[in-house]
Amino acid sequence: MSCPRVGHIHFLNVLPLTWSYAHGADRGLSITRGVPAVLNNDILTHRLDVSNVSSIIYARDSEELVILPDVCISTDGDVQSILLVSRKPIHSLQNDKIILTAKSATSHCLLKIILRAAYGAIPQYYIRHITPEDPVPDDASASLLIGDDALWLYHHRQPGFFYYDLGREWKQLTGKKMVYALWVANQNFARQQPELLQLVYDRIHRAFRLGLEHKREVIDSAIAAGSPFTYDQLDHYLGNVIRWDLTEEYLDGLHTFYELAHQMNLIEHVPMLRMANVRR
Ligand SMILES: C=C(O[C@@H]1C=C(C(=O)O)C=C[C@H]1O)C(=O)O
């Protein structure tokens, strides 16, 4: 039996899973680590069987994919690690130049929806590599960062910039929860290898549970490995800010996200949320 090829976004927002993979939960899986933009591409080009991907990617290729139930990366309000850093207050952005991190897909759409629907702005967007040390290039008004870069900026704000948490902005705009990432499987893999799909699903669930049971050790080991955050910052971020449960309320938030993205022509249609057929 060949190893299922599984993608893993190695941001701190899935640290309990990363820790468990490093402690044996990766047995029998072939894991590829990467940033969302790369894994998004890898699942669509069939280089992976299952992956943690940007939630907007499912809507762009829903015929080819199924969603793993009960797991996602989401928040109810503040996210801390998806930030717009701006030289101007958000309500004064108009047709300004805004740089979007090259690592993301969902946050690009989220920002476009928020600026258009809440602030009436249609800026010019450019995708570029940006660093937290120099977040807003001289030729731009604002930048969008995600993941550990954004979390670092959230805790190390530089004077002269305005910071906007897109989880909070989304909640203000819609009143809903937001799903940033899903675990999806390629439809062919799901159909042809149901027992391997079940193995991956069970592994991911058990790995999250194990990582959360060892939360103190998980955070200590990240700090010992050089993570530039305090224990309390990560303790709060993991579980109080970032959530991993894909319940009805989160699915409702995801559906609203797809509807607004469709209204703005960011996706061709609002997809049906098709769940993989696994024993839970
Ligand atoms: C909450 C976050 O969500 C991330 C945002 C993604 C995107 O914008 O495409 C993809 C995966 C998530 O890990 C984060 O960046 O920390």
CB within 8 A of 263, min separation 6: which ones?
none
**What is the structure's pLDDT at 2?**
83
**What is the structure's pLDDT at 1?**
61
| 17 close to ligand 1 (CB < 6 Angstrom) | no
State ipTM. 0.98
What percentage of the chain has pLDDT greater than the value 70?
100
| pLDDT reading at 213 higher than 80 | yes
pLDDT tens figures, 37-48: 999 999 999 999
CA atoms within 13 Å, Cβ hemisphere of 260? 21
| Residue with CA at minimum distance from ligand 1 atom 4 | 180
For the CA of 104, the closest atom of ligand 1 is 9
Residues 126-151, mean pLDDT to the nearest whole number: 97
| Residue with CA at minimum distance from ligand 1 atom 16 | 147
Burial 207-221 (b: 16+ CB within 10 A, else e): bbebbbebbeebbeb
Q: What integer best gives the mean pLDDT of the chain?
A: 97
For the CA of 40, the closest atom of ligand 1 is 9
| 146 close to ligand 1 (CB < 6 Angstrom) | yes
| pLDDT reading at 161 higher than 90 | yes
| 81 close to ligand 1 (CB < 6 Angstrom) | yes
**What is the structure's pLDDT at 13?**
98
**What is the structure's pLDDT at 46?**
97
Cα distances from 149 to residues 135, 160, 175, 181, 211, in angstroms, run: 9, 18, 27, 17, 23
| pLDDT reading at 172 higher than 80 | yes
| Residue with CA at minimum distance from ligand 1 atom 15 | 147
| 14 close to ligand 1 (CB < 6 Angstrom) | no
| pLDDT reading at 137 higher than 80 | yes
pLDDT tens figures, 216-239: 999 999 999 999 999 999 999 999
Integer Cα distance of 19 and 211 in angstroms = 6
Report yes or no: 179 and 67 within 8 Å, Cβ to Cβ: no
For residue 51, the tally of other CB atoms under 10 A from its CB is 31
| pLDDT reading at 268 higher than 90 | yes
| 181 close to ligand 1 (CB < 6 Angstrom) | yes
Domains, in order of start, for the chain? 5-75+178-263 (3.40.190.10), 82-174 (3.40.190.10)
pLDDT tens figures, 82-126: 999 999 999 999 999 999 999 999 999 999 999 999 999 999 999
Distance 148 CA to ligand 1 centre (A): 10
| 57 close to ligand 1 (CB < 6 Angstrom) | no
| 147 close to ligand 1 (CB < 6 Angstrom) | yes
Query: Shortest CA distance to 241 belongs to which of 11, 8, 13?
Result: 13
pLDDT tens figures, 31-85: 999 999 999 999 999 999 999 999 999 999 999 999 999 999 999 999 999 999 9
